[in-house]
């Protein structure tokens, strides 16, 4: 935990978890796929990779190729999703994720990811992590992060008010979405610190989950 004024404990009714960069480290695949995209379109890779984290592919393409018709973005995104789903080389759990997910097993939580269900399933399996019973994937929403729709749907799936949920996210787009949904946000990993989450941790080893007597979820952060 890096923010000196951040709380040492957060209490929630449920957790809403991003996948890529938050519980699954898929950076190797993401970089391979988007490097091909950058080369194909003559774009600077560093510019591309600074945009893509947290967003659905078509939304990233719309930022990177603003003059291209959205129909072409949707079409190329379908091709990219298929390529990403087939490529699991280097997909591993984020530090502490196996114990974190095991501790959450019987507590309210949902996955809220910009991946579609096929890609989410492939990556969770490759990382050896259990797929949450409740999930919001790309097929479930009409707008990509940083729009809050996904997190609001996650709260609704669990029958909870947004303010009762804590989001775990790694990207600027995801942290903005969580804040826009009226939720507290735990930023995970080096990318997250600059976006001013409620609490920042380097990985999930810095988080301990404790089940409250009333069914709540207590998050204890290492100082």
What gap in Å lies between CA 166 and CA 59, rounded to an integer?
25
Active site residue 170: no
Q: ∠ CA 94-98-99 to the nearest 5 degrees? A: 115
DSSP annotation string for 169-181: E-SHHHHHHHHHT
What gap in Å lies between CA 179 and CA 170, rounded to an integer?
13
Active site residue 147: no
Q: How far is CA 206 from CA 9, 32, 97, 222, in A?
A: 12, 29, 10, 5
What gap in Å lies between CA 205 and CA 218, rounded to an integer?
15
Catalytic residue among 18, 87, 116, 206: 18
Could you give the residue numbers annotated as active site? 18, 20
């Amino acid at each position: 935990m890096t923010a000196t004024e951040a709380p040492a404990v957060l209490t929630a009714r449920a957790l809403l978890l991003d996948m890529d960069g938050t519980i699954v480290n898929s950076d190797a695949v993401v970089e391979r796929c988007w490097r091909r995209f950058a080369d194909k379109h003559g774009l600077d890779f560093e510019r591309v990779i600074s945009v893509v984290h947290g967003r659905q592919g078509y939304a990233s393409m719309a930022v990177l190729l603003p003059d291209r018709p959205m129909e072409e973005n949707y079409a190329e995104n379908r091709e990219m999703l298929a390529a990403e789903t087939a490529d699991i080389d280097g997909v591993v759990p984020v530090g502490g994720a196996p114990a974190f997910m095991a501790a959450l097993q019987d507590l309210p939580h949902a996955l809220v990811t910009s991946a579609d269900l096929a890609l989410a399933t492939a990556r969770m399996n490759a990382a050896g992590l259990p797929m949450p019973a409740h999930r919001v994937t790309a097929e479930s929403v009409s707008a990509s992060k940083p729009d809050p729709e996904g997190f609001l749907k996650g709260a609704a799936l669990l029958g909870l008010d947004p303010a009762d949920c804590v989001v775990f996210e790694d990207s600027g787009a995801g942290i903005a979405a969580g804040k826009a949904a009226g939720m507290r946000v735990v930023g995970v990993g080096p990318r997250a610190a600059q976006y001013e989450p409620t609490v920042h941790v380097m990985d999930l080893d810095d988080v301990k989950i404790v089940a409250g007597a009333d069914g709540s979820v207590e998050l204890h952060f290492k100082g």
